[in-house]
Structure 1
Amino acid sequence: MAARRVITSVVVTMLVLGVSAAAWLWRPHMTAGPCEVTAGPLALPEVPETSGLAVGRRTRGVLWTHNDSGNDAVLFGLDATTGDVRARVRVPRTMRDWEDVSAGRCPAGACLYLSDIGDNGRQRSRVFVLRVPEPRPGDTTTPGPEVITATYADGPHNAEAMFLVGADMFVVTKDQAGTVYRATPVVGNSAAVTLQRIGALGLTMVTDAETSVDERTVVVRTLDEVAFYQTAAIVAGGMPVPWVRVDLSGLKERQGEGVALDGSVLHLSSEGKPWSRDGRLLRLRCQMPTI
């Protein structure tokens, strides 16, 4: 009996140690390169399939995000510090594959650009970008959006990332190359633009991109990496070299999707996990080297 008790004790101890080791291995790191996690992961129960992410220009301290295709067309305004939902704003438009939201300037002042640009089968002859004035937290619906119809000059592409520099739209494809396309939107509903190839980033499976609030930096993310570019380098075309690349794999995101930059603060969003459908939001502060 004594021997049996010893064996049982050893087995229990090994199981406890195994569980503890597994928990340690799966515990997210609190740093990623020059960036340190300052908040999160914050649960986003209403945004389990968070896709794009954008820093509000009209109301500071608000992040805009949305669920991926197959969900209602609703913009969620999140508190950038706590992740709490401060706004739920319905968009009066049915979208086929809504993949991104970007903040930028427009004739109305501050606008959100909603990118219906997903095309996994590369079969869409045209994609759409919807432009709406950036809502206030108390709004419940946007005005009817201005619809920009976009066609790639070289045929269909799948993409999940769009960002604005001044009046120009930039789309980055989700493939093995991260090809960059550019177009200047025409003012007016149902305007048509052609996306022209200007370069490639050499990044695999880009899921989001966004310009910093001051438009000096463009952050581009994949499932497990964020690359920081000088805006001027991307606008110039060719194959720009990022001035910083940050490995995100240690953060243990389930499926990294969104990225946004506000000064030295980097925001990341990811989809939920099988045992918890809530999306996740991380806030990091980055000490970046001088360009």
Structure 2
Amino acid sequence: MRSLLTVSAAAALLFLTGTAPAVADDGDRADRSFTIEDSRITESSGLAASRIHPGVYWTHNDSEDGPYVYAVDSRTGRTVATITMKGVGEPRDVEAISIGPDGNLYVGDIGDNLGGSWDHVWIYRFPEPKRLADATVRATQFDVTYADGARDAEAMMVHPTTGRVFIASKNEDGGGLYEGPQKLTAGGANVFRRVGEVPWVTDGAFSPDGGELVLRSYFSARGYAFEDGRLGADHAVSVPLQGQSESVAYTADGSAMMFGSEGENSEVVRVEVKGGGKAPSPNGGGGGTSPGDDGDGGGSDKGTVTGGALAVVVVVVALIAAGRRRG
């Protein structure tokens, strides 16, 4: 039911808007669009570009999979390493993955589909393996709480220069951007505090220079200028039409963004970034420097979903949310 609703919504959106972002002809190069071939990966919910293995992307399943992280080669779509985390509890609802400037992978066990009923969630951290091979690694587990109470979240982003961890909560009425402590500690709760307002979010990613934060949802995405830990001017970002739209990551060089989805043999689609992932201009217009900029030059949703299309999407999103809750 959920998959059918999502695909139908995507088709309706394409019909009503008549547009879709340009997707590059990738040839056989790394960081190309690819299909995840591993039959074990049926709920890919996060995506992060390797910093030491060109063209390799780290991903994971949503829930009921165990403490596993997979390295997938974008040239072939095949899994080239399966990492098993030890030293952590049983993962509950893993929704995001990111790589920090310290060379560590951060795995966000932050989902809470019961509407924010768990008193804490977790982040796991371990060094990105230098060798691509199946391995068991010891991970550090961090307890996470929110200053304003428990909530559902699917997006966790590590800033590429400061190393600070941010989480974007997910709510039909709009969520919040939460900033973690300057340094995570394993000895107690790490309190995340609300520092900004965001729309419905299923994943997010910082540009390699840290000057741009892109947050995606099922049908759209927005880019935000990011400075001193706070959101700035925003603009629409072009996204591909996908089934269960769940993940987003910049390529390591910032030349493109990779958009992923859930499901068996799910596709990861490359969309070129105008200006190579640099932060937008201070006036928010973006010029030629924004990722997949639709050219609306500001904070409206024009160029992404407009008029009657917006109403259709809102209804379908509500149906999907209801389906997810029933599931």
Range class of TM-score, shorter chain: 0.7 to 0.9
SS in 2 for 1:231: strand
Q: 1:141 to 1:41 in 2, by over 3 A?
A: closer
Matched residue, 2:257: 266
| Aligned partners of 1:37 and 1:282 also within 8 Å | no
List alignment gaps of at least 5 residues for structure 2: 1-10, 27-31, 276-287, 291-327
Q: Give the CA deviation at 1:40.
A: 4.1
| Aligned partners of 1:178 and 1:200 also within 8 Å | yes
Matched residue, 1:79: 73
How many residues are matched?
251
Larger Rg: 1
Query: 2:65 and 2:258 mapped to 1: Cα distance?
Result: 23
Q: 1:254 to 1:84 in 2, by over 3 A?
A: same
Q: Give the CA deviation at 1:244.
A: 3.7
SS in 2 for 1:59: coil
Matched residue, 1:49: 43
Query: 2:178 and 2:138 mapped to 1: Cα distance?
Result: 26
Matched residue, 2:269: 282
Q: 1:104 to 1:55 in 2, by over 3 A?
A: same
Q: Which amino acid aligns with 1:243?
A: H
Matched residue, 1:11: none
Residue 100 in structure 1 maps to residue 96 in structure 2: yes
Matched residue, 1:67: 61
Q: Which amino acid aligns with 1:255?
A: Q
Q: Which amino acid aligns with 1:112?
A: L
Query: 1:247 and 1:195 mapped to 2: Cα distance?
Result: 29
Query: 1:222 and 1:126 mapped to 2: Cα distance?
Result: 24
| Aligned partners of 1:147 and 1:190 also within 8 Å | no
Query: 2:156 and 2:144 mapped to 1: Cα distance?
Result: 12
Residue 192 in structure 1 maps to residue 183 in structure 2: no
When the two chains are superposed, the root-mean-square deviation of aligned CA atoms in Å is: 2.6
Q: Give the CA deviation at 1:224.
A: 1.4
Q: Which amino acid aligns with 1:269?
A: G
Matched residue, 1:210: 205
Q: Give the CA deviation at 1:46.
A: 3.1
Q: Give the CA deviation at 1:243.
A: 3.4
1:113 alignment partner, one of 106, 112, 128? 106
Q: Give the CA deviation at 1:214.
A: 2.8
What per-residue deviation string (whole Å, max 9, x for no partner) do you get for residues 236-290 of structure 1? 25xx432342243xx3x11011100121211111112xxxx32222222233523
Q: Which amino acid aligns with 2:100?
A: G
Q: Which amino acid aligns with 1:282?
A: V
Residue 126 in structure 1 maps to residue 120 in structure 2: yes
Q: 1:258 to 1:144 in 2, by over 3 A?
A: same
Residue 232 in structure 1 maps to residue 223 in structure 2: no
Matched residue, 1:5: none
| Aligned partners of 1:266 and 1:285 also within 8 Å | yes
Q: Which amino acid aligns with 1:56?
A: S
What per-residue deviation string (whole Å, max 9, x for no partner) do you get for residues 4-54 of structure 1? xxxxxxxxxxxxxxxxxxxxx79x99x844654645452433311100101
SS in 1 for 2:100: strand
Matching of residues 161-180 of structure 1 within 5 Å = 161-165=155-159, 166-175=162-171, 176-180=173-177
List alignment gaps of at least 5 residues for structure 1: 1-24
TM-score, reference length from structure 1: 0.77
- Identity of aligned pairs, percent? 30
| Aligned partners of 2:83 and 2:137 also within 8 Å | no
Query: 1:47 and 1:130 mapped to 2: Cα distance?
Result: 19
SS in 1 for 2:104: strand
SS in 1 for 2:150: coil
Q: 1:116 to 1:284 in 2, by over 3 A?
A: same
Q: 1:227 to 1:242 in 2, by over 3 A?
A: same
| Aligned partners of 1:186 and 1:192 also within 8 Å | no
Q: Which amino acid aligns with 2:105?
A: L
Q: 1:208 to 1:215 in 2, by over 3 A?
A: same
Residue 148 in structure 1 maps to residue 147 in structure 2: no
| Aligned partners of 1:259 and 1:266 also within 8 Å | yes
| Aligned partners of 1:52 and 1:66 also within 8 Å | yes
